[in-house]
Amino acid sequence: MALSQSATAVKIKEQLLESSRTLAETAGETGVIEAAAARFIEAYRNGNKIMAFGNGGSSCDAQNFADELVGRFERNRPPPFLLSP
């Protein structure tokens, strides 16, 4: 059963509002994010491995995360040693 255009528009608006609430809540966690980034940098500089994993859709997120870290953004550098399913 297809949603009417107005019901579809309502659903789109609900999803966008939920997304904006999630981003606003995440903005309040900048200290935690910064600390995690510092740990990643420390692991990279020490030659340690970074493991990213998940189950189902989270597995795809882990692979994407690993891909983002292996890629080179704004400067050339050796890639970190990453394991992902």
Which tens digit of pLDDT belongs to each residue from 13-61? Answer: 999 999 999 999 999 999 999 999 999 889 888 988 888 888 998 999 9
41 and 53 share a domain? no
Q: SS3 of 51, please?
A: strand
Q: Looking at the structure, do residues 29 and 55 belong to the same domain, yes or no?
A: no
Q: Where are the beta strands (DSSP E) in the chain?
A: 49-51, 81-83
Residues 26 and 52 in one domain: no
Name which of 69, 67, 62 is nearest 85 in CA terms: 62
Number of domains in the chain: 2
Q: Could you give the C-alpha distances from 25 to 18, 30, 34, 38, in angstroms and in order?
A: 11, 10, 15, 21
Question: Length of the chain, please?
Answer: 85
Residues 60 and 41 in one domain: no
Residues 42 and 57 in one domain: no
Both 67 and 30 in one domain: the answer is no
Answering whether pTM is above 0.75, one says no
Helices (H) and strands (E) in the chain, counts: 3, 2
Q: Are residues 37 and 73 in the same domain?
A: no
58 and 85, same domain (yes or no): yes
Stretch 68-75: mean pLDDT, rounded? 74
